[in-house]
Amino acid sequence: MKKFVSILLLLVMLLSLTACHGSKEERPFAIPEEFDTTKNYEISFWAKNDTNMTQVEIYKNAIAAFEELYPNIKVNLRLYTDYGKIYNDVITNIATNTTPNVCITYPDHIATYLTGSDTVVPLDTLFADEKYGLGGSEVRFDAPSQEEIIPQFLEECAFNGHYYAIPYMRSTEACYVNKTYVEKLGFTLPEQLTWDFVWEVSEAATVQDSEGNYLLNGQKVLIPFIYKSTDNMMIQMLAQRDAGYSTEAGEILLFNDTTDEILATVASHVESGAFNTFKLAGYPANFLNAGQCIFAIDSTAGATWMGSNAPLVDIAEEKLVEFETAVMTIPQYDIENPRMISQGPSMCVFNKADPQEVLASWLFAQFMLTNEVQIAYSQTEGYAPVTSKAQDSAEYRDYLSRCGEDNELYYDVKIQATKLLLDNTENTFVTPVFNGSASLRNAAGQLIENVNKGVRRGQTVDETYVDELYDEVSALYRLDQISTAAGKSDFGPLPRASVVLIVLLVLCWLGMGIYVGVSYLKKRKSNKNH
C-alpha cells in the first residue's frame, strides 16, 4: 500500500508541473447592457506632443467635440514630450492602481503593462459589440468598422491572442535625398534605392581636398549617409534578407550570420566617413538642410523638418543650402520584394473597477478614429490615417492632390512622404510584440551604435569583437530574461506526455479506490469470521 501511495504522489507532483503549462488567460471585458448617461464620468487621456501646437489644438478640439456628444464624460488631457516618459509613468502608476483611462503608446510598451493583472483591457469583445463596438448602433458618432481599419496597421495591436490597442496614426521610414548632390557626383537616382547604390554614392562623396574641405560641398563637414533609428535600420535589413530577429513567441534570433555581415558593412563605411548615426552625429534633417548630408533616413512623420523650405526647419537661415529633395523608400536588397517597417502610436484602454468608466474610455478612444480627428492630425506631419474610411474620403484625397501649393499645410515633402506609405502599405511589416520586445528592439539598434563608436575609437570589428559585442548587448538588455519570460507567456496546448500523465492519474485514483474498497471488504469479512 505504501509503495502504491508513493507512486501516486509522484504522479501528482508530475501533474502539478504540467499544470503550469499553457497561456495566461485574459478575462474578456464584460460590456454593460447600456451606457449609463445619468452618471458623470471623468477620464484621463495621456498623449504625446513636443513642439507641434497644431497637434495640441487637434487633441483639445477632439475632446470638446466628444464632450458635446457625451456631456456626462469629462476628458482630462495630459501631454508628454516623448513616449518613453508616458511608459515610465504608466509603469509607476500600475503599482498604485492610478493608471490613466486612455493612453497613446506603443504596443511594445503595452506588452510590459500586461505583466500587471488585468491592467489593460482586451478589446476583442468591444470591437465586435453591436451597440458600442466599432461602428456600433449606439455610438453617437460616425466611427469606422473593424474592417475599415487598415489590416497592416491593426496587426501590430494584436498579441497574446488578443487585441490590446487600436492604431492611432501610422508612419514608415523614408530616405530624404539631396538629389542635387547625387547628380553633382555623376549619379542618376534610380526609381528604387538599393543598399549598394547608397553605399557607392556615399563613398564617392568622402573625397576631400588638401585642406580638409569636401569637394562635394566645399565644407569641413559632410556625413553622406545618416540613419536616425538604428533599431529600425537593423530590423529592416534583417527582414529584407529574410534573416532572423525574433519569433512571435519571443525567441531571440537577432544574433546570426546576417547580423554579422551587416555589422561588418556598417563598420567599413563608418571607417571611411561615409556613414554615421543620429545618436553620435545629431538630427539628420539639420545636416541635410545645411548641405552636409546626401541620404537622411527618418520617419515619414519627420517630413516637416526635411528640405530647404521645410516649415519646421531647425537651423539658422544663413546655414540653409538650396537643393532638390527627393523622398524615396528606404534602401532595399531586393527591389522586386521591398520590405519596410510600419509603426506608430496606438491607443489602449486601462481596466477600472467600474465597467461603465471603462466603456466611457472606450467610446473616447474610438472617437479618435473618426475622420474628423484622423484627417486633421495626419495633415500636421507625414502620418497616414489608419482607416480606409479616412483615406478614401473626398476631404483627404483633396488634401493629397494639393501637394506643393504652399510650404505649410501642403508642403510637398510632407505629402510625398505620406504618399510613400500609402503606396507601400502592402510592403510593410510589424515586429512581434511580447513582454521584452521593446528591449530587443533597443538591442538591435545598440549593435550598430556600438560598432559606430568602436570604429571611431580605433577598434577592429572582427569575429572576436562581434562575439563580445553580442554578449555585452545581451547582458545590457537582459535578453536571457526576455527569452524566459516570453517562454512562459504562451506555451500552446498541453503536450502529449502531459495528457498521458493526466490519464494515468485518473487510472491511479480509480485503482486506489478499488484497492481501498477491496481491502475494506476483506478486513470486514475477516472480522466477522473472528
Q: Using 50, 70 and 90 to split pLDDT, how confident is the model at 49?
A: confident
Asked if the 173-341+431-486 domain carries CATH number 3.40.190.10, the reply is: yes
Q: How far apart are CA 350 and CA 102, in angstroms?
A: 6
Q: Decide if pLDDT at 496 tops 70.
A: no
pLDDT value at residue 12? 39
Which one, of 6, 16, 1, lies nearest residue 502 by Cα? 16
Residue 5 CB coordination number (10 Å): 12
* pTM: predicted TM-score of the whole model, two decimal places: 0.86
DSSP state of 348: E
Residue with cell 473626398: 394
- The pLDDT assigned to 384 comes to 97
DSSP helix/strand/coil, 282: coil
Section 394-404 average pLDDT? 98
Residue 504's pLDDT is what? 52
Question: Lowest-confidence range among 99-108, 273-282, 459-468, 495-504?
Answer: 495-504
B/e letters for 374-404, b = 16+ CB within 10 Å, e = fewer, are bbbbbbbbbbbbbbebbbebeebeebeeeee
Q: Does residue 47 register a pLDDT over 60?
A: yes
The residues near 177 (Cβ < 8 Å, ≥ 6 apart) are: 189, 193, 294, 295, 296, 325, 326, 327, 328
Q: What integer is the mean pLDDT of 300-324?
A: 95
Q: What is the pLDDT of residues 188-198, one digit of tens each?
A: 999 999 999 99
**Is residue 427 classed exposed, middle or buried when 0-12, 13-18 and 19+ CB atoms within 10 A define those classes?**
middle
DSSP-derived secondary structure for 35-59: --TTS-EEEEEEEE-SS-HHHHHHH
pLDDT at 51: 74
Length of the chain equals: 530
Range with lowest mean pLDDT among 167-181, 309-323, 479-493: 479-493
What is the C-alpha to C-alpha distance for residues 365 and 363, in angstroms, rounded to an integer? 6
Q: How confident is the model at residue 19 (pLDDT cuts 50, 70, 90)?
A: very low
The tens digit of pLDDT for each residue in 499-527 reads 344 445 446 556 665 665 566 556 655 55
pLDDT value for 498 = 37
User: Quick one: average pLDDT of 48-68?
Assistant: 93
Rounded CA-CA distance 229/219 in Å is 26
Q: Note the pLDDT of residue 181.
A: 98
- On the question of a common fold for 41-171+344-426 and 173-341+431-486, the answer reads yes
**3-state secondary structure at position 227:** strand
> Closest Cα to residue 330, out of 182, 173, 171, 181?
173
Check residue 208 and report its DSSP letter. B
Nearest of 146, 228, 225 to residue 182 by alpha carbon: 225
pLDDT at 501: 41
Q: How far apart are CA 346 and CA 510, in angstroms?
A: 54
User: How many whole angstroms separate alpha carbon 514 and alpha carbon 1?
Assistant: 12
Q: Is 218 helix (H, G, I), strand (E, B) or coil?
A: coil
Q: Under DSSP, is residue 467 helix (H, G, I), strand (E, B) or coil?
A: helix
Selection from 122, 165, 166 nearest residue 25 by Cα: 122
Sorted by where each begins, the domain ranges of the chain are 41-171+344-426, 173-341+431-486, 500-530
pLDDT of 28 > 80? The answer is no
Q: Which of 99, 15, 132 is nearest to 367 (CA)?
A: 132
pLDDT at 130: 96
Indicate the CATH number for domain 41-171+344-426: 3.40.190.10
Q: Residue 69: left (phi > 0), alpha (psi -120 to 50), or beta?
A: alpha
